[in-house]
Chains A and B, each alone.
Chain A
Amino acid sequence: MEGMVDAHCDISYNVYQMAIGQFEQLVLTAILSLRDDAYGVSIHSKVADLAKPKSVSLGAVYVTLDRLEDKGYLASWLADPTPERGGRSKRFYRLEALGERALRESVETARRVWREVGRVRGWLKSCWFKL
């Protein structure tokens, strides 16, 4: 099963080279941290928290959720209707293996960039002291 998931991931990455943007990264992180309670409103408030001080619209979150679901990074399902929502259902989201892998790679890239920035800053500081 694990091999199948890996093959799946490799096909998507090698053939289509689907990388994720910063906003997609925020949405995936929000879903990961919300676990079983990841639906439109809770994802939006979590993303808004993560994106501070920038404001985030609910529409932008929906667009990103749709795109990530199309890419196979997320899976979604409708839950039972609840009275506080006027008898309407919530659509819950779950991170798939592909999504986890994309998020991990994105974090790794950010870490490499930060390490490089630190190295350059250290080099600049040493140059400053020499002067």
Chain B
Amino acid sequence: MIERIVGIFIPPACREEVLGDMRERNEGIQLFIYDALRTVPFVIVSRIRRTTDSVVLLMEAFCCYVSFLAVAFVTDRAMTSTQEGLLRLAIPGAIALAVLVVADAYANPRKKSVLRPVLAVALSFACVFLVQVIHPLLPGMMLAVGSGMSIMLLLALRMLFPPLADRPRQAQGPAFWEKQEIVAAGVLKATAVAAGVLLVGSAMPEHLKGPVLGIVVGGVVIWVIARRV
């Protein structure tokens, strides 16, 4: 019984061996539960790391945000002119992507299905609507149209870059190499730096924005020149 409950939390891809190992190590139920509490979180995090490609995740986040931003720009332009409004537009996408990441981690690689990418995206936006029912995130119409656009873009992206568990594995090649983040590590770093600068810059007092922006741009120019030399 306890094994079954613990098994629910372990991703199917590694459930068999992890449960077997814990059973072999522990005789009593208490020891088994204690071991499960110490082991299962690591197993979940490791599976998420294996199935998540940060560059693809970044593209998905961008698609979701742009969808909601476009809808807000057409239906309620005032929302796009305040920081709070821009932040609210990011919440549905963030919830959907969090669910999507977990759904990918808990996908069973032994059960291949053509519908899996569609179902995962549908599940993620079902969760967004569930949250909307409990605590309204955005006006209903905006959420519906934005979600529709996001779903279409996410499906297109998932056709181009399927979840790692669904991709055909190359013979003898490390799984690590199949991630886009290996190819586009520079893009990822540059995006993170740009996002960080914008985030810090937006929260800065007006009189400091000019000098700080100048220093940042100057620093980037010097860095680029130094690298070329």
Q: Which residues of A contact B (CB under 8 A)?
A: 8, 12, 16, 39-41, 44, 57-60, 62-63, 66-67, 69-73, 78, 81-82, 84-86, 88-91, 98
A-B contact pairs, 7 of them (CB 8 A): A39-B17, A40-B17, A59-B39, A70-B175, A72-B173, A88-B23, A98-B174
CB of B57 within 8 Å of the partner chain: no
Q: Residue A62 contacts which of B24, B43, B182 (CB distance < 8 angstroms)?
A: B43
Chain A residue numbers with a CB within 8 Å of B17 are 39-40, 78, 88-91
Q: Which residues of B contact A (CB under 8 A)?
A: 3, 14, 16-25, 35, 38-43, 45-47, 49-50, 172-177, 182
Q: Residue B174 contacts which of A58, A72, A81, A84 (CB distance < 8 angstroms)?
A: A72
> A80 to chain B: closest CB distance in Å?
11
B-side interface mostly = helix
Chain B residue numbers with a CB within 8 Å of A84 are 24
Q: Using A62-B43, A63-B46 as known contacts, say yes or no to A57 and B38 having CB atoms under 8 A apart.
A: yes
| A88/B50 in contact, CB under 8 A | no
Q: From A66, which residue of chain B is reached at the shortest CB distance?
A: B46
Q: Residue B41 contacts which of A44, A59, A85 (CB distance < 8 angstroms)?
A: A59
Q: From A57, which residue of chain B is reached at the shortest CB distance?
A: B38
Chain A residue numbers with a CB within 8 Å of B173 are 72
Complex formed: what's the CA distance from A81 to B24 in Å?
A: 12
| A71/B176 in contact, CB under 8 A | yes
> A6 to chain B: closest CB distance in Å?
13
| A62/B25 in contact, CB under 8 A | no
> B47 to chain A: closest CB distance in Å?
8
Chain B residue numbers with a CB within 8 Å of A66 are 46-47, 49-50
Chain A residue numbers with a CB within 8 Å of B16 are 78, 88-89, 91
| B174/A70 in contact, CB under 8 A | yes
| Most chain A beta carbons < 10 A, residue from B14, B24, B50, B175 | B24
| A62/B38 in contact, CB under 8 A | no
| Most chain A beta carbons < 10 A, residue from B3, B17, B18, B50 | B17
Q: Residue A85 contacts which of B14, B24, B172, B177 (CB distance < 8 angstroms)?
A: B24
| A12/B174 in contact, CB under 8 A | yes
Complex formed: what's the CA distance from A91 to B10 in Å?
A: 15
Chain B residue numbers with a CB within 8 Å of A72 are 172-177
Q: From A63, which residue of chain B is reached at the shortest CB distance?
A: B46
